[in-house]
Structure 1
Amino acid sequence: MILGAIALAGVAAWQVALRWRPAVERYPVQGVDVSEATGDVVWPVLKGEGADFGYAVATSGARTRDRAFQTNWDEMARAGLRRGAIHVFSFCQSPRAQADSFNTVVPRDPAALPVAISFRYAEDCPDRPERAALVAGVADMIARIETHTGKPVVLKVARDVERDYRLTEAFDRPLWAVGNFLRPGYGARVWRMWRATDLRRVDGVDGPVNWDVVELG
């Protein structure tokens, strides 16, 4: 009987986690980030679920274009959401080539949100460059993307990447921190965006979605 009660409590907690998001009173600006892995997104429905903005992965590395990017990019605008593009950085490919790939895919749009560059380790890329070389390459990449878009980029940096490379020390750019449920406390600067959960289930998306909030002020 006790084990059954524990199991039921676990199921209930999981259901709460699937619907959880940070309080709107604390974070009035909330949104999502998606990629082709997210599946089909019905953006007007997602807007009704409380999304004020959306970010969509555009490119990964120097050669991969997200197959859902153009659809997501167009549909976010039609739904009246502010939209931004993400480049997923590869530690195995030239930062300059990655910037050129991104600039080819994503149009210059003065109304768009700042571009986000996502730094996270991937199983298919074992390379770990020396910090000085990485920082120099990323600096060139940032300059190329910012010249194209006309806006400073946002750096979405995973905790383990920040631990190894201290990118927030190297670049005076807003930090998009990552961590489920608990406010992140890493990085050399206060984060401006927080991916608060990658488990949230909402109408308009078949699977779980990354839910993000903005720190105002």
Structure 2
Amino acid sequence: MMRAGLALIVAVVLAGCGGTRAPMSDPKGDEVVVMSSNFTDARPTDWPGRSPDRYPVHGIDLSRFQTQVDWPTARANGVNFAFIKATEGGDMVDPMFESHWRGAGAAGVKRGAYHFFYHCRPAAEQARWFIRHVPRTPGALPPVLDMEWTPFSPTCTLRRDGATIREEARIFLDIVERHYGQRPMIYTTVDFFRDTELWRLKGVEFWLRSVADHPHGVYDGTAWTFWQYTSTGLIPGIAGKVDINVFAGSHQAWAGWLAQRSL
């Protein structure tokens, strides 16, 4: 599925951005280093449209289910960024968050934290729980609010109307933005996006899941920044399967986005 072979290092020097905000840097210099992907897939997709191969910047998201990660090896094989599960609801912390957070940072992987939304707790309570457990680390990616239906949850299968969902999302985003200084992104799935009309939210960057086709058609042309295209990825350095994602633009666009959107 993915390009195989030796990793290619592409160094892109960050251009200065407006205002007084300093651009994000790798630990060893003022450049963003993009490693080409050396991934495979346990269940590869025969992409009917635009393949994720056309995007040069790949990364992962992970949680407690990925217990063994050799971060330097994963980085060398194309993991340029990682979104790490931090919290869920108002009383759960992912037991692997701190380990993944430290490991990704030490390996030079751009890292961000995400919160899994629990539909049976107020959004404000969940925002405060996330803030309590996720450090305000310079250079981190913006926070992410993961919103999807939970039909198999043992404690909460509530399905509220779209207007309520969007208002709860707005409350969470506002509180978290005030703390970290960056507007969180929203991760979501096709059915949740359609059922709740999340496109009605203004000023939101989306991270979209679409494992059978390009998100442009699946999400009716909605703009996206990250695309999760498989949950069965195989990456050297990571034991077992893992979610793989791409960034929407070029190496240069990635460098520019980091300069604007890192904490």
Look up the SS of the partner of 1:103 in the other structure: helix
Which among 242, 255, 258 is matched to residue 209 of structure 1? 242
Say what the alpha-carbon RMSD is for the aligned residues: 2.1
Partner of 1:174: 205
Partner of 2:222: 189
- Give the Å deviation of 1:204: 1.3
5+ residue gaps, structure 2, are: 1-40, 254-263
- Give the Å deviation of 1:130: 2.5
Q: In 2, Cα distance between the equivalents of 1:206 and 1:171? A: 39
CA 76–56 in structure 1, closer or farther in 2 if over 3 Å, else same: same
Letter paired with 2:88 = S
CA 156–113 in structure 1, closer or farther in 2 if over 3 Å, else same: same
Per-residue CA deviation, residues 127-156 of structure 1 (Å, 9 max, x unaligned), is 112322222222111111111111111110
5+ residue gaps, structure 1, are: 1-13
Look up the SS of the partner of 2:44 in the other structure: helix
Partner of 1:84: 112
Q: Is the 8 A contact 1:92 1:127 kept in 2?
A: yes
Q: Is the 8 A contact 2:209 2:227 kept in 1?
A: yes
Which among 151, 156, 159 is matched to residue 128 of structure 1? 159
Per-residue CA deviation, residues 40-97 of structure 1 (Å, 9 max, x unaligned), is 2111111122111111000011111000000100111100111100111111211111
Per-residue CA deviation, residues 155-205 of structure 1 (Å, 9 max, x unaligned), is 101111111101122232111110114212316731111001111112211
| Percent of residue pairs identical | 29
Q: Name the structure with the higher helix share.
A: 1
Q: In 1, Cα distance between the equivalents of 2:43 and 2:64? A: 26
Which among 106, 128, 135 is matched to residue 100 of structure 1? 128
1:1-217 residue pairs with structure 2 within 5 A? 17=44, 22-23=52-53, 26-122=54-150, 123-124=152-153, 125-184=156-215, 185-186=218-219, 189-216=222-249
Give the structure-2-normalised TM-score: 0.72
Q: Is the 8 A contact 1:180 1:197 kept in 2?
A: yes
Letter paired with 2:157 = P
Bigger drift between 143-152 and 181-190 goes to 181-190
- Give the Å deviation of 1:210: 0.4
Q: In 2, Cα distance between the equivalents of 1:28 and 1:160? A: 28
Q: Is the 8 A contact 1:110 1:149 kept in 2?
A: no
Partner of 2:35: none
- Give the Å deviation of 1:29: 1.1
Q: How many residues align?
A: 202
